[in-house]
Amino acid sequence: MATAKDTVWGMSPDRAMARQLAVRDIPALVYDAVNLEGVAMTLPEVQTLLDGITVGGHKISDQNMALNQAAAWKYLFSLVAEDQFTFSKDVALSIHNIAGAEEALEWGAFRTGNVTISGSEYEPPSSRELDNVWAEIELEIAGCNDVYDLAITAFLRMARAQFFWDVNKRMGRFMMNGILLSHGFPIINVPAKRQKEFNQLMLDFYATADMTGMNKFLRSCLNGKIIDNFKPDQLNG
């Protein structure tokens, strides 16, 4: 994967710090992800579940979604730590094999039939086109000079193509954040409290393929104090 830089905030890469900040946020990452999918779990419930204790009042499938999300994050961290992460079909399938287990119709593989997107008239490509669409995305992101444009483009194009029977937006965000971590930059996490804004902007994007609104939104999810951690004066201080 070509080296891309942050051309907007002037951050310098620091892989160790980017990974450490993400690792310590696993409970919040899982909490936000499951709530964005409509699973109403509190952060303490997620923390309890990740500690290995079953939480009452929730379906087993919802608890499995949370556990799979945590396991997929840990796997992604290991890929980055071992320099094994690439934006490739094989890596995406290996992550989906964890994130989509028991939730998607089939996990660890591209879908073999057609799908629709709830609330949108846009029709994703047929299953026969998916390999070609993936190759197009690889070419498109190779032309991005800004690391966040690169990562966000990967997420959005994956989400619009709907490569899998399910877990598509979450998979796109895993690959987006894998790109950021492997380049040494802080991840993007969409807070559950911004669910309505996220969903509406995604529907707009599905309809138009214009990434401008979602790019701005996703960048706004970055905490300014975290950005400051990666500024050269902070890194050298």
pLDDT tens readout for residues 45-102: 999 999 999 888 888 888 999 999 999 999 999 999 999 999 999 999 999 999 999 8
Q: Where are the domains of the chain?
A: 15-235
pLDDT tens readout for residues 165-219: 999 999 999 999 999 999 999 999 999 999 999 999 999 999 999 999 999 999 9
Does the pLDDT value for residue 1 go beyond 70? no
pLDDT for the residue 3:
79
pTM of the model: 0.94
C-alpha dist (Å) from residue 170 to 22, 73, 227: 16, 11, 23
**Residue range 28-52: mean pLDDT, rounded:** 94
Q: Which CATH architecture has domain 15-235?
A: Orthogonal Bundle (1.10)
Does the pLDDT value for residue 28 go beyond 80? yes
Model confidence at 33, in pLDDT bands (50, 70, 90)? very high
Does the pLDDT value for residue 236 go beyond 60? no
pLDDT for the residue 232:
83
pLDDT for the residue 98:
97
The Cβ-side half-sphere exposure at 128, using a 13 Å CA radius, reads 0
Inter-residue contact 102 to 85 (CB < 8 Å)? no
DSSP category for residue 146: B
Model confidence at 26, in pLDDT bands (50, 70, 90)? very high
Give the alpha-carbon dihedral of 109, 114, 116, 122, to 10 degrees.
Answer: 110
Inter-residue contact 190 to 173 (CB < 8 Å)? yes
pLDDT tens readout for residues 97-137: 999 998 878 999 999 999 999 999 999 999 999 999 999 99
DSSP category for residue 59: -
pLDDT for the residue 235:
54
